[in-house]
Amino acid sequence: MNGPHDLGGQHGLGPIAPEKDEPYFHAEWEKRALGITLSCGAFGAWTIDESRHARESLPPATYLAASYYEIWTRALETLLTRHGFVTQAELDDGHMHEKGREPKRVLKADMVAGVLARGGPCDRPVATPPRFGVGDRVRTKNFHPETHTRLPRYARAKVGVVEAVQGNFVFPDDNAHGKGENPQWVYTVVFDAGEIWGEGADQSLTVSIDAWESYLEHV
């Protein structure tokens, strides 16, 4: 979707200013926000792709005014209500009114280190060979779905060259909406800056993205 998260090439938002020696957290509540998000994710009720879509689906004014972990927390409220763990009334007053849905799993303190170490691998086997190879010229598709996609707006309908074949991975555009994992080949595609940004671009620069196979077509 063309949401407030997809800001590549947008004007008026100021320069990117990385914070020197930035701490992991800027406030104590951010630690708790991360912990609650991970704990609720362990329930097994939604995928990482659905959680990303919940974040990008926040109203633009809310998203752009929120800090990083505030976005996580607001999206988590959406997921918890959507899947029946809490009601909006319970979130509003901060108290449980009735027993909600029972989680499939509960992440306990002694499990955290192992769970984080294992991560959540999303590589999967596919039965077909890759359609594209290193050096192939490809064009990204031009589409504007209202649903989740990992193809950024600035890189649509652009011609680039396949730089690497990365393997097979869960297709997030489907997985975010309960349509199954449907894995595809993923490719690193490199574009000249002029192809992405047009006149006035620094021609010494390139932009690389990782693109699922269905995003691409041969040139």
pLDDT class of 210 with cuts at 50, 70, 90? very high
**pLDDT of the residue at 53:** 97
**pLDDT of the residue at 17:** 87
> 55 near 4, Cβ under 8 Å?
no
For 145-175, the pLDDT digits (tens) are 999 999 999 999 999 999 999 999 999 999 9
Higher pLDDT, 72 or 10: 72
Asked: is 28-118 a CATH 1.10.472.20 domain? The reply is yes
Distance CA 130, CA 216 (A): 12
Q: Where are the domains of the chain?
A: 28-118, 137-218
User: Could you tell me the fold of the domain covering 137-218?
Assistant: SH3 type barrels. (2.30.30)
Torsion region of 114: left, alpha or beta (phi above 0 gives left; psi -120 to 50 gives alpha):
alpha
Radius of gyration (C-alpha) of the chain in whole angstroms: 20
Provide mean pLDDT across the span 39-67: 96
- Mean pLDDT of the residues in the chain: 96
For 73-120, the pLDDT digits (tens) are 999 999 999 999 999 999 999 999 999 999 999 999 999 999 999 999
**pLDDT of the residue at 15:** 85
Quote the pTM value: 0.93
pLDDT at 57 over 90: yes
| Residues whose CB is less than 8 angstroms from the CB of residue 53 and which lie 6 or more positions away in sequence, other chains included | 1, 147, 148, 176, 177
